[in-house]
Structures are given as C-alpha cells and as structure tokens.
Amino acid sequence: MKVSALAQAGYRNLPDDFERHFDAGVTTPWHLTEPGEVHAAFRDYLDCLMLAARLGFDGVGFTEHGQSSYDMVANPSLVGAALAYATEAENLKVAINPVGRSLGKAREPVRVAEEYAMIDCISGGRLIAGFPVGLLYDASINNGVPPIEVRARFDENLPLVLKAWRDQTPFAWNGKFAQHPCVNIWPRPLQQPSPPVWITGIGNPTTFQLALKNNFGFNYFGWFGAKLTGPRIFERFWETAFRLNVPQNPYRMGFMQTVCVAETDSQAERKFARHIEYFFNKGIGAVPLEKLAIPGGISLPGIQFILRDHAGDFGFYAKMRTAKFAEIVDAGAVVCGSPETVTEQLIEIARTNRIGNLMVMLKVGSMTRDLTEENVTLFAQKVLPKLRNVWANEPWEHHWWPSRLGGRPAATATELTATGGVQ
C-alpha cells in the first residue's frame, strides 16, 4: 500500500468562541490573525511535509482552499513547486501530490496545465495530478462562479488540461468557458501522455463512472466520519466497477484519514484531543452546510445520494461545529491511539474497503510544531512499516503512481468517455 502524508496550512490561534460567530471558509475576519503566526503556520506546514518525505513516506499531499482560515493554501501549485525542488535537491523519491486544483472554479485551465507540467519537470516526473470539482462555497461564494456552472466548468476544463499535456502539435480550443486560438504549452509534463490523474469526490455515482471509465484514480476524504460514510461510499464504488467490468484493483482507490499517534491510547487522547476538536469545530465544521450544498451546484445523482444517506453522511457534519473528541473518534473522522491501535484500525479500513492508497493527515488543527513532528515521526517509525504489505500478496500492479517511483502507469482515455455531473 502507498502511504502519503497530507497537511494543511491552518491558522492555529483562533479565539475560543470563533465557531459561534464566524464561518471558517468565507467570513473569518483578518483582524483575528497575528502576522508572526501566519508566517509560522506556513513554515511549520512545509517542514511537516519535508519531514515526512525524509522519513520515507511514499508521497506528500496538500489541498486548495481559497479565503479559508483552516487551510490558507490558495494555490497548491506554489506548494508543489517548493516541495518538488526541495525533495529533488535532497534526492527524496517521494510523490508530489496536490490533491486538488479545483477545476470547477478555474477560470484559466491552461494555466493549471502549465503549472502542473512545471511541477512534474522540477520533480523529475514525480507529480500526481489531483483534480476535484471543488467545494461549492469556494467556487461560487469566494470565486464568483455561478453554482450551475461549477460542474460544467470541470467537465470542460479537465479535457482541455489533458489535451494540452498530450497533443504534440498546437491546437485551437473553442469551449463555452474558455477560448484559445492556440494551445501549445511549454513545458509538457515529463510523464507522457500525462501524470497519473486522480479525482476527489464525495461519492456521487457519476463521479465513480468518470474515474472508472477513464482509468483515473478516485480519492475520498474521511472528514465526514469514515465509520458512517465509508462503507457506503466504498461499496458503491466497487459495485460500479463490477457493473463496468473494471478490475477491482485496490490501487485505484485512495482514502484520506486524520491520524494521531502516541505511545498509549490514553496519552494520545491527552495530547491530541483539544487539537482535534479545534480542527473539526473551527475548521471544516465551521462552514455551514448550506454553503457546501448550494442549490444548482449538485447534480441529480448527487442530490439523490445526499438525500438517501442524509442521516449518516451529514448527520455528523451538522454537529461537527460542537463535536467533542469522543464523538469525532466514534464517527471515524479521526484514528487516534497507540501505534498498535492505529495500525490495527488502518489495516482494517484498507482491507475491508479495498484501499490501496492511504493519505494520513498528521498535522491537525492547532497542533504545535513539536507535537506535529512527534506525530509524524512516531507514525513513520511504528505504523508505516506495517502498512506497506497490505496488498503485497495479491498480484495487482499500481497503474496510478509515477513510474519513476515504481508505478506502472496505464493509459487513461484519450478522450473523456464520461462527463457531466461530477460534483
């Protein structure tokens, strides 16, 4: 199994009553910040990912959230370029995995293609290209894209990015949202015809079909409570693969899990509980549900999915703003405990749901630099080695990982075979 470390550059000193007054994704007042802490947050964030690279993680992952206090990374390409150079300079064989440039809000898709291509070249061919549709509050409120256009932009922008990478001759593009008399990007990615492509989604059946029909990897994030959402999400994905006669290779599935490790279960709770509560109360949980599910921004299959699973998927989200440590752990939104406890739970999650790529978020909420380093190091020493062989005895090859890092990439579709409604 491939195990990557994921981090976000969250602001760590928000007031105790923040979640009662503000929205973490839209309306956080800048006067709450201290310049020194903003600087420290970014330094500690990058150092966390570099520490993971040095300790032998397979990849380093990062996200994109505009105008957000819980993740101040407005453009993940900046982070990707820094990590690509630093890891290449130290000869660290680690995948560079920007889990998202949100193509549903992108107004310059060719620029996205160029930036990702640069990262692949700087890293010597270690990019994994992540493309979520994007969070609706970010796309529509923060970035001004009408909700009804978010999916449509994604459907147009992804084929344009892939074509810009693959075509060896200049071409014109006359789309609904982007028109280019000549597309001939320099450079192209070193990985040809493209780096491995991954789609991050919430479990919409249409998204599953997009990924499976075009041989993309699929990522699911466990912030909504993996014990509640995971079984249904993963079961539906593999049922869709079966219907489409697609091999049920676990390496096409990725999952992000928040993880905290200490020497004992009681120590883990004592060290991490308040930082975990900070993240879920003042971070993603402090974005109102109506801003995540704006009318017009979710396709019919997605609406049916939400309505059918409302109690499980969004019941926990509705109380995330006030959830305590025990509730967060019980929902499966975080795995926290001793190395033995964490290892056992992660292996069970992977084997039960056929997950071949695990992203562990080890820098959580208000965690200090020292505590983050302790968490990353203990996980690397006592958990990571035991996860390596989860699928070692099965004959699957990893087709969604850079060849320079041992993957055997298989060709994705030349033209997308499933588009529309991929939120």
For 357-368, write each residue's pLDDT tens digit: 999 999 999 999
Band of pLDDT at residue 319, cut at 50, 70 and 90:
confident
CATH label of the domain that carries residue 144: 3.20.20.30
Go through 236-256 and write b for each residue having 16 or more CB atoms within 10 A of its CB, e for each that does not.
Answer: bbbebbeeeebeebbbbbbbb
Residue tagged 């390496």 (tokens): 251
Q: What is the tally of structural domains in the chain? A: 1
Go through 354-363 and write b for each residue having 16 or more CB atoms within 10 A of its CB, e for each that does not.
Answer: bbbbbbbbbb
H or E element that contains 221: strand 217-221
Q: How far apart are CA 69 and CA 336, in angstroms?
A: 24
Exposed / middle / buried, residue 395 (Cβ in 10 Å: 0-12, 13-18, 19+): exposed
Return the structure tokens found at 193.
Answer: 């015809």
- SS3 of 257-289: EEEEECCCHHHHHHHHHHHHHHHHHHCHHHCCH
Q: How far apart are CA 46 and CA 69, in angstroms?
A: 17
Mean pLDDT on 42-60: 98
Q: What is the pLDDT of residue 142?
A: 87
List, in order, residues 6 or more apart from 149 with CB less than 8 Å away.
177
Predicted confidence (pLDDT) per residue in 184-226, tens digit: 999 999 999 999 999 998 777 888 999 999 999 999 987 877 7
Residue 416 falls inside a structural domain: no
Band of pLDDT at residue 286, cut at 50, 70 and 90:
confident
Return the structure tokens found at 278.
Answer: 């900070």
* Residue 243 or residue 420, greater confidence: 243
Residue 417 falls inside a structural domain: no
Band of pLDDT at residue 314, cut at 50, 70 and 90:
low
Nearest to 73 by CA among 95, 98, 51, 48: 98
Residue 413 falls inside a structural domain: no
Whether the predicted pLDDT of 350 surpasses 90: yes
Q: Which domain holds residue 35?
A: 2-405
Residue 419 falls inside a structural domain: no
- The torsion defined by the Cα of 113, 117, 119 and 125, in degrees rounded to 10, comes to 140
Q: What is the pLDDT of residue 303?
A: 62
Mean pLDDT on 46-62: 98
Mean pLDDT on 166-176: 97
Residue 414 falls inside a structural domain: no
Q: Positive or negative, the Cα torsion across 52, 54, 55, 61?
A: positive
Q: What is the pLDDT of residue 50?
A: 98
Q: What is the pLDDT of residue 291?
A: 77
Q: What is the pTM of this model?
A: 0.93
Whether the predicted pLDDT of 237 surpasses 50: yes
Q: What is the pLDDT of residue 345?
A: 97
Whether the predicted pLDDT of 310 surpasses 80: no
Cis? peptide before 250, omega within 30° of 0 = no
- SS3 of 320-346: CCCCCHHHHHHCCCEEEECHHHHHHHH
Q: Are the CB atoms for 7 and 45 separated by under 8 Å?
A: yes
Whether the predicted pLDDT of 271 surpasses 60: yes
H or E element that contains 80: helix 76-89
Residue 23 falls inside a structural domain: yes
Opening angle at CA 106, ends 103 and 107, nearest 5: 145
Residue 161 falls inside a structural domain: yes
Residue tagged 């190395």 (tokens): 339
Q: Are the CB atoms for 222 and 230 separated by under 8 Å?
A: yes
Band of pLDDT at residue 419, cut at 50, 70 and 90:
very low
Predicted confidence (pLDDT) per residue in 115-135, tens digit: 999 999 999 999 999 999 888
Express as a percent the part of the chain with pLDDT over 90: 75
126, amino acid identity = R
Whether the predicted pLDDT of 312 surpasses 50: no
Bridge partners for 96 per DSSP: 60, 127
Residue 53 falls inside a structural domain: yes
Q: What is the pLDDT of residue 207?
A: 87
Band of pLDDT at residue 306, cut at 50, 70 and 90:
low
Q: Quote helix, strand, coil % in the chain, to nearest 5.
A: 45, 15, 40
